[in-house]
A and B are shown apart, each in its own frame.
Chain A
């Protein structure tokens, strides 16, 4: 219909632009239209006095508008409108047809494999039509890109699809070829995280339109799939990890299933899930005990549902490295108080955290506990970066900000910002606003804007309540069930005191509120700052939980252990190693990256970094990591795990013969799994790829116009075509409608 009215296909208008090819200047057209419209207006005004009474002014205005429009269209035609569009030169350009032949293309949708659907669609005139105009090259797309001579060479056996990588490779390999357009035939089931911006940018730089042809069903019936599991790759021993499980299902809305987390045959955690509406993405969080030190392979699974064909995608594997090293926290307290005692007692129960504390017992005396020797903290709060940075977390209690020198305050800032440590400020008589922290140089470090008043601390009871964010937080989780956790907090004994912590800053997260004197104030607020994290707990009275709850109740100790572990878990060491994906599905290529810092946690750009790798089949090798340009302290090496199995990388950094630090990371390669995920057609990805590159998304049932539309491209060898628009049927239709409307109105109003 579009082409019938407008003479040319929609793609021509989308990729071209309208010009006026007449000899007269464009401004003259506007002048002529205004002049004719004005002349018509004057003529009608002059004739009005002789007109019949039925010609009222507004009717005359309508008639003037119709006549002026007609004149404007006719004048426009005199200026010769045309469409300027780039058009591929016949037989001088290559159209690349990329066909996905990964295992997912072997799936049977509607009684035939997807690859058959794709081949049939191409063979029903599309390929031959393209070959009449262009040179056509066929490519196979799977984990990489390779050329094939005929469609019959395609066999859907490749274990993975990497659309982004493939298009990158295609753009590089064909840089010297006159590629006019790309036709990608795929189900969009990418296993490498989809397209990144650089891939699209590379295609756009060459003006290469990618026309995508989607095959396969968008929604796979009777299927349950875990899309992803997000959880920290590292944990402290005996801690609990929060795992976010994303999944979707089709055909099982309203059913209930149990999400189970296993380490080998041992069930670590489980929770019941009731499925929402079909096709809708859903999220469930589950707390997983990290267990003992070492590398753990965790399996997240949902049970197979009735009539479900693909059950491999019901489970996902993740790795977690549980550290055995003890974390160190420095706790500075300005006065003896019960909160100090009970925090210490809670931490005494945590074998993974050492709480070194310095308590001001008198004006000039400090009492130290938890220190490793006489020298630790002997001179009070550290003044050197290497002394403070030996800790992973810092707790400041009821201590006036003026107790610290300006240099020590700056050190605290660097501790959070540069070293990546955790800082927790407690409420107290000399804490937060009352301790002058709101006007200190560290005010911007805090997750709250403290009140201006210095009378914000109150020895009055306050109750506590979780916010929605707190209900699911691993810091405030006292029981696994989110709703039960919220109720549990409401029933906690009141806090012995509270403090007005002010207003949470944008980006901060309030995990719990306190209710006191009819007011609701933030109680526990957290925020990421720089490389580290900060938190405020606006009370010094949680000790009453311990004294008021029954003997053996774990609430107080659990809360403090979870809070302090949050403080230090993500605090990095001097060497931190990472890989893009710890579980690699049907591929082995990875990049081992190490972030190396000196004792003051400044980037150690001149370090020597090597990785020792252990893998299946007795693999033991060593590789050097090279500095990454423009990123001081970052080192990287590309490496390929050739066999499926578990790998261990120990990265050691040294400088001038002295070791700076080391870190260990495990990763795993699993084969035969990737294509069992994301089995439905990813129309969203295919549409986005087409739109962002100037192409179009096509369905296999409607490819007849693809050969003609694909010619409008300014890639490859193209010419600028100028196509007349004056003889478009739509123009004549408009003229007819304008004149016909005038005639009908005149008859209706009796004005001839």
Chain B
């Protein structure tokens, strides 16, 4: 066995270390509105400063998730990049925004905005999207801020949580924000205005996540039936749109995958666009 010269070993080692740190820096580099990231098929488009000022910004809620330990007891997970709030992020956001910009007259920024409930910046973004909401937790101050956000005219869309246990966990947080007796959760009817603002999608079907490509299953956990639900304000306007037992975010993210069925992606885009359009008109 021939040993490499010592200086070559040092050079290769230094190069590897530099490469790793360089990739990390690129991945987590902070830019206006959020963080860079990777999709399965490579790097997503990067925003530019010239693209910063628009009427609409797709904002994703960064919350504090709970990680469940054995025996069902959870502990609070320190929020940050990589938590459950960032599932499918940012490729799902950016792909959806590309469709929104292409198909409507909404002046939308081409990249997403990350918002938290720790400051009032969320009030500048009247639409917010949250995923994996079975893991969200709120401090009383955060719950109050989200309630005020919704009652002033903000709109929350939640997605990507499945089955009975996830629903109960979702409710734990939701009921801190909007109490059940005053703000009940109801099923959305096919003729509800939210499904007809731009696209008439009275008849819908379940939109599975990307796991469908690998397993052929349209459900996760015990979430067999899609639930299109909502919480309304006192005027009857939808202020929280709940997409339970489905995964629209995955459908957006994998819309450009040759393996992911087009009909699922199309339905996800139509629903998302109708929800955004509803939030900007009601």
Q: Which residues of A are in contact with B by a Cβ distance under 8 Å?
A: 334-338, 340-342, 344-345, 348, 359-363, 365, 367, 369, 429, 459-460, 496, 540, 543-544, 546-548, 550-551
Contact = CB atoms under 8 A, between A and B. Distances in A.
B281 A336 contact: yes
B105 interface: yes
20 contacts: A334-B105, A335-B105, A336-B104, A336-B106, A336-B277, A336-B280, A337-B55, A337-B106, A337-B107, A338-B126, A340-B280, A362-B104, A362-B198, A369-B281, A459-B53, A459-B54, A544-B123, A544-B124, A547-B149, A547-B153
A381 to B, nearest CB: 16
Interface string B188-206: 0000000001100000000
A631 B233 CA distance: 54
Contacts of A459: 53-55
Contacts, number: 80
B105 A360 contact: yes
B153 A340 contact: no
A362 B103 CA distance: 7
Contacts of A360: 105
B76 interface: no
B221 interface: no
Interface in B205-228: none
A345 B278 CA distance: 13
Contacts of A336: 56, 104-106, 277, 280-281
B154 interface: yes
Contact of B104 (A361, A429, A496): A361
Given A369-B281, A459-B53, A547-B126, 17 more contacts: A335-B105, A336-B106, A336-B277, A336-B280, A337-B55, A341-B153, A342-B153, A360-B105, A361-B198, A361-B277, A362-B103, A362-B198, A365-B198, A540-B55, A544-B123, A547-B153, A548-B123
Contacts of A335: 55, 105-107
Contacts of B279: 341
- Give the most central of B154, B281, B282: most A CB within 10 Å: B281
A546 B153 contact: yes
A341 to B, nearest CB: 5
A361 B197 contact: yes
Contact of A547 (B55, B106, B152): B152
A495 to B, nearest CB: 12
A151 to B, nearest CB: 76
A631 to B, nearest CB: 46
B148 interface: yes
A365 B148 CA distance: 33
Interface of B: 53-56, 103-107, 120, 123-124, 126, 148-149, 151-154, 197-198, 235, 277, 279-282
A345 B54 contact: no
B213 to A, nearest CB: 31
Contacts of A544: 123-124
The 8 nearest A-B residue pairs measured at CB: A459-B53, A547-B123, A336-B280, A335-B105, A336-B106, A337-B55, A551-B148, A551-B151
Contacts of A348: 235
Contacts of B149: 547
Contacts of B281: 336, 340-341, 344, 359, 367, 369
Given A340-B281, A548-B123, A362 B53 contact: no
A551 B198 contact: no
A332 to B, nearest CB: 13
Contacts of B103: 362
A367 B106 contact: no
B99 to A, nearest CB: 12
Nearest to B155: A341
Contacts of A338: 55-56, 126, 280
- Give the most central of B54, B104, B148, B235: most A CB within 10 Å: B104
A367 B153 CA distance: 20
A713 B115 CA distance: 90
A56 B140 CA distance: 107
A331 to B, nearest CB: 12
Nearest to A369: B281
Contacts of B56: 336-338
Nearest to B154: A547
Nearest to B103: A362
A429 B126 contact: no
A742 to B, nearest CB: 90
A594 to B, nearest CB: 41
Contacts of A367: 197-198, 277, 281
B48 to A, nearest CB: 15
Nearest to A365: B198
- Give the most central of A336, A345, A361, A548: most B CB within 10 Å: A336
A341 B104 contact: no
Given A367-B197, A544-B124, A548-B120, A337 B153 contact: no
A429 B154 CA distance: 23
A341 B105 contact: no
A342 B152 CA distance: 10
A359 B280 CA distance: 11
A557 B196 CA distance: 27
Contact of B124 (A345, A361, A363, A496): A496
Contacts of A548: 120, 123
A731 to B, nearest CB: 88
A434 to B, nearest CB: 12
A501 to B, nearest CB: 19
A497 B198 CA distance: 26
Contacts of A429: 55, 107
A460 B235 CA distance: 32
Contacts of B105: 334-336, 360-363
Nearest to A547: B123
A550 B149 CA distance: 10
B144 to A, nearest CB: 10
Contacts of B235: 348
- Give the most central of B106, B154, B279, B280: most A CB within 10 Å: B280
A538 B166 CA distance: 47
B102 to A, nearest CB: 10
Given A335-B105, A360-B105, A459-B53, A345 B153 contact: yes
A429 B148 CA distance: 29
B110 to A, nearest CB: 14
A363 to B, nearest CB: 7
B155 to A, nearest CB: 9
A462 B282 CA distance: 25
Contacts of B107: 335, 337, 429
Nearest to A349: B235
A345 B153 CA distance: 9
A22 to B, nearest CB: 91
A361 B104 CA distance: 6
Contacts of A460: 53
A359 B282 CA distance: 12
A341 B280 contact: yes
A550 B120 CA distance: 11
Contacts of B148: 550-551
A546 B282 contact: no
A499 to B, nearest CB: 13
Contacts of B126: 338, 341, 543, 547
A525 B275 CA distance: 35
B39 to A, nearest CB: 28
A362 B279 CA distance: 16
A498 to B, nearest CB: 12
- Give the most central of A340, A544, A546, A551: most B CB within 10 Å: A551
Contacts of B282: 341, 344-345
Nearest to A459: B53
Contacts of A337: 55-56, 106-107, 280
Nearest to A361: B198
Contacts of B123: 544, 547-548
A633 B249 CA distance: 64
B24 to A, nearest CB: 33
Contacts of B106: 335-337
Contacts of A334: 105
